Amino acid sequence: MMIEMENELHMDHLNSLEKREALETVATSCMQLNEVKVFSCVVCKYTSRKRSQLCIKQGHTTNSHYATKRFFSCKECSYKSSSYSLLPTHRCQVTLPLSSLFNIIFQRCKCENWERVSMIQEKKVVLDTEKLEVRGEERRFIN
């Protein structure tokens, strides 16, 4: 009786892990989302999934339509972004820390080099047994 319950709980756990893995494989192969409902402001020329609070306050006219959401990554800093146009119209907006001797100085990436990527990145797992070393195990300071 107890063994059957443990087996059932174990199988439920494995089934949930299989479903999660199936979702991850779909998300890693998905490069774009078709037919996403978006709102575009006629005055600001701003497109988003929600109406902008600024446009609502100022009484701008907005059109609702469907667009394709594409995913991009900055080539320099690997910042991920999405766009409803063919290419992102904005620069990379990541703030990168530059370490100094006593203080930290921040610099913006401001890169415009984007590359198409999938919705989520595939998880890369490196096992200890998979690490290949040409000369074998290296030991420092043996003597």
| Tens-place pLDDT, residues 9-43 | 999 999 999 999 898 888 888 889 999 999 999 99
Binned at pLDDT 50, 70 and 90, residue 132 comes out as: low
pLDDT at position 3: 87
Residue 114 CB burial class (10 angstroms; 0-12, 13-18, ≥19):
buried
- One-character DSSP codes across 65-134: EEEEEEEEEETTT--EEEESSSS--S---PEEEEE-SSSEEEEE-----EEE--SSPPPP---GGG---T
Q: Is 36 helix (H, G, I), strand (E, B) or coil?
A: strand
**Residue 60 C-alpha from the chain's centroid:** 31
pLDDT at position 59: 92
Question: Which amino acid, one-letter code, is at 12?
Answer: D
**Quick one: what percent of the chain has pLDDT higher than 70?**
81
Which range is least confidently modeled, 7-11, 40-44, 102-106, 120-124? 102-106
More confidently predicted of 55 and 97: 55
Q: Does residue 98 have a pLDDT over 70?
A: no
